């Protein structure tokens, strides 16, 4: 990935770095006002931090990237496969208060310029999808449950069915998350993956006496399954647990973690 801003520190994908019609960015935990174990650029409302600090971090990110703070939109992520449509009526949901975020949603789609839609993460997979012809943008939050439910695939299908998008025109950025190197899973997760993926040879792998899950590969596979070209999919290849100095990781922080995220804005 490539640096977009240094304070706060944000990145973008090579697939999106030269585009003038869309901005895709990944935030980090560096360059904000949060303290202690949330230091320093937490963007998720947390009972251990005042909302004012979280909102200030969000505002600073918007200012650094030159995007409209008031139209930055958040969702109440529930590890399901619910998808919301964001327009001028609900833009800005969840920006200042957690309770006002779009309810029961793990993916958002918009066709409106200058609205930023945000997926938060702290080990789960944040994903951005963009159709270069129809100018439709989406973000996805995919933990293992969302990955099993194929929320990334369902979001892309909704873009195709409702907004006349084409898989050939879709660009996908799969952001930092817990990597296969660190993601040991139990029998319940393994069974769910086996039930929902035809070929799990690249998704589930034995590591000594433990079994590890590759969320990146699982999400890439489900997108390729609906004929998004593999060359249109870029994976950040950064494990949040291995890089807990750069990204928030719930596993590394024993559940007391802040949030980073992925955002997309139509320009």
| 157-169 mean pLDDT | 98
Q: Is 90 exceeded by the pLDDT of residue 192? A: yes
Q: Which tokens go with 250?
A: 């719930």
pLDDT of res. 208: 87
Tell me the backbone φ, ψ of residue 163, rounded to 5 degrees.
-125, 15
CA distances from 161 to 111, 128, 156, 201 (A): 14, 18, 9, 30
Lookup: tokens for 166? 């084409």
pLDDT at 207: 86
What would the mean pLDDT of 61-70 be, rounded to a whole number? 98
CATH class of 2-266: alpha beta
pTM value is: 0.98
Q: What digits encode the pLDDT tens for the residues 253-266?
A: 999 999 999 999 99
């Amino acid at each position: 990935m490539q640096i977009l801003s240094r304070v706060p520190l944000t990145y973008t994908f090579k697939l999106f770095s030269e585009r003038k019609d869309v901005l895709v960015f990944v935030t980090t935990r560096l360059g904000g006002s949060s303290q202690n174990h949330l230091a320093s650029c937490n963007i998720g409302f947390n009972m251990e931090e005042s909302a004012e600090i979280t909102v200030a971090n969000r505002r600073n990110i918007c200012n650094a990237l030159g995007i409209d703070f008031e139209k930055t939109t958040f969702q109440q992520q529930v590890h399901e496969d619910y998808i919301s449509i964001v327009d001028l009526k609900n833009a800005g949901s969840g920006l200042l208060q957690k309770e006002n975020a779009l309810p029961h949603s793990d993916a958002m789609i918009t066709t409106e310029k200058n609205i930023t839609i945000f997926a938060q993460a702290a080990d789960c997979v944040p994903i951005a999808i963009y159709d270069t012809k129809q100018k439709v943008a989406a973000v996805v939050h995919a933990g293992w449950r969302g990955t099993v439910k194929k929320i990334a695939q369902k979001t892309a299908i909704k873009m195709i069915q409702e907004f006349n998008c084409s898989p050939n025109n879709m660009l996908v950025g799969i952001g930092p998350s817990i990597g296969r190197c660190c993601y040991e899973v139990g029998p319940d997760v393994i069974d769910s993956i086996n039930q929902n993926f035809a070929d799990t040879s690249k998704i589930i792998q034995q590591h000594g006496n433990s079994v590890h899950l590759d969320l990146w590969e699982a999400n890439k596979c489900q997108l390729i399954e609906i004929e998004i070209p593999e060359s249109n999919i870029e994976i950040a290849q950064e494990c949040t647990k291995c890089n807990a100095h750069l990204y928030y990781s719930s596993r590394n922080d024993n559940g007391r973690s802040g949030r980073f995220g992925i955002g997309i804005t139509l320009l």
